[in-house]
Amino acid sequence: MKMAIRYGVIGTGALGGFYGGMLAKAGHEVHFLFRSDYEYVRNHGLQVESVNGDFHLSEVNAYPNTEEMPLCDVILVCLKTTGNHHLPELIKPILHAKSVVVLLQNGLGLEEDLSAQLPGVAIAGGLAFICSNKIGPGHIHHLDYGKLIIGSYNVPEQEILKQIVSDFQLAGIHSELSPDLKFSRWQKLVWNIPFNGMTVVLNTTTDRLMSNNQTRELSKELMLEVIHGANACGVPLKESLAQQMIDMTVKMKPYAPSMKLDYDHRRAMEIEYIYSKPLETAGKAGFEMCKVAMLEKQLRFIQAHLLDK
């Protein structure tokens, strides 16, 4: 018999607002952590414009801090990884003995770092294949896709993950359980590494990268390098995945990935987990991702220049 899961959402932006909003719309108990949007959402609710149908939640369980939130069975972490040093203090107030923390974040090495900070806590990873942006206070714009893959890092009971996947499916989200979280994280990096970085360095969007022969070819070269890096780490990604992702991106609506939006708004970019950790991991396995390393250095330069302003 399925139990009713109490969800907590840490970071109600492009991901947390959409996925948490979909769960709440479907009738699940969802508690949302807000920062600057707290007063607005308390007064006006949460608005989601979606390619699959717009909706508005007039009554939202909104909180300005996790100390005021109830204990949660499943904690969906949707913060940018640049804020992960705050996670232990944010998560502890809403943890109970059987809570599961799901990191809906991009990159590699996230679960290992959080497990070291919160020993004994059950942790899973989540991969969101979605085009979604926060465009205003309590206002999310879902442009395309939305698939969610969830996999265990150290969760002792798989039944809870199966129920999370089922809850998302019934809420209208294409969701799957990953048998291998490491595989899924590297698979997502095949898209994230070229397109997050290149849209920043070239100050552009995915459609413009795909419409130019040189940048489309460079995108594929970067993808293949990530695939070979994954292979060196024992992750059996196929080279054909690169062309599949190119084809998918060609069909995608014009999109500025999250790192490009962070750059545009002069915010810290998620370089550590999307670039530095994969480079380090592949390097330890004996494979140097030279093109990825060059992109990382360019992003580090841009980041330093941003912070100097």
Residues of the chain with CATH 3.40.50.720: 6-179
Q: What is the pLDDT of residue 305?
A: 86
Give the residues across from 123 on adjacent strands.
101
Closest CA to 133 of 141, 125, 124, 144: 141
Which residue has 């979604």 as its token pair? Answer: 132
Query: Among residues of the chain, what percentage have pLDDT more than 70?
Result: 99
> Tokens standing for 13?
């932006």
Q: DSSP secondary structure string, 66-133? A: GGGSPP-SEEEE-S-GGGGGGHHHHHGGG--TT-EEEEE--SSSHHHHHHHHSTT-EEEEEEEEEEEE
pLDDT band at residue 1 using 50, 70 and 90 as cut-offs: low
Q: Average pLDDT of 40-48?
A: 97
Q: What is the pLDDT of residue 88?
A: 97
**Sign of the four-CA dihedral 99, 102, 103, 108:** positive
- Round to whole Å and give the CA distance between 163 and 150: 11
Closest CA to 271 of 200, 183, 186: 200
Give the residues across from 302 on adjacent strands.
none
Instruction: Phi first, then psi: give them for residue 205, nearest 5 degrees.
Output: -125, 170
Which residues are known catalytic residues? 188
Residues of the chain with CATH 1.10.1040.10: 183-308
Query: Among residues of the chain, what percentage have pLDDT more than 90?
Result: 94
- Round to whole Å and give the CA distance between 225 and 218: 11
pLDDT per position as a tens digit, 190-199: 999 999 999 9
Q: What is the pLDDT of residue 4?
A: 92
User: Dihedral of the CA atoms 28, 135, 274, 276 (nearest 10)?
Assistant: -130
Half-sphere exposure of 162 (CA within 13 A, CB side): 7
Task: Report whether pLDDT(306) > 80.
Answer: no
Q: Amino acid letter at 8?
A: G
Average pLDDT, the chain: 96
What's the start-to-end Cα distance of the chain, in Å?
56
**Sign of the four-CA dihedral 82, 84, 89, 94:** positive
pLDDT per position as a tens digit, 109-146: 999 999 999 999 999 999 999 989 999 999 999 999 89
Q: What is the pLDDT of residue 308?
A: 66
- Which of 3.20.20.80, 3.40.50.300, 3.40.50.1370, 3.40.50.720 is the CATH number of 6-179? 3.40.50.720
Burial 209-247, CB ≥16 within 10 A → b, else e: bbeeeebeebbbebbbbbbebbbbbebebeeebbeebbe
Q: What is the pLDDT of residue 86?
A: 96
> Tokens standing for 130?
């979605």
Task: Report whether pLDDT(35) > 90.
Answer: no
Half-sphere exposure of 46 (CA within 13 A, CB side): 30
pLDDT per position as a tens digit, 57-116: 999 999 999 999 999 999 999 999 999 999 999 999 999 999 999 999 999 999 999 999
Long-range contacts of 19-22 (CB under 8 A, 24+ apart): 19/76, 19/78, 19/104, 19/128, 19/148, 19/168, 19/173, 20/76, 20/78, 21/46, 21/48, 21/55, 21/57, 21/140, 22/48, 22/168, 22/171, 22/172, 22/173
Task: Report whether pLDDT(307) > 80.
Answer: no
pLDDT band at residue 216 using 50, 70 and 90 as cut-offs: very high
Q: Average pLDDT of 6-28?
A: 97
- Which of 1.10.150.20, 2.160.20.60, 2.60.40.10, 1.10.1040.10 is the CATH number of 183-308? 1.10.1040.10
Q: Average pLDDT of 200-225?
A: 97
pLDDT per position as a tens digit, 157-182: 899 999 999 999 999 999 999 999 99
98 burial via Cβ count (<10 Å: 0-12, 13-18, 19+): exposed
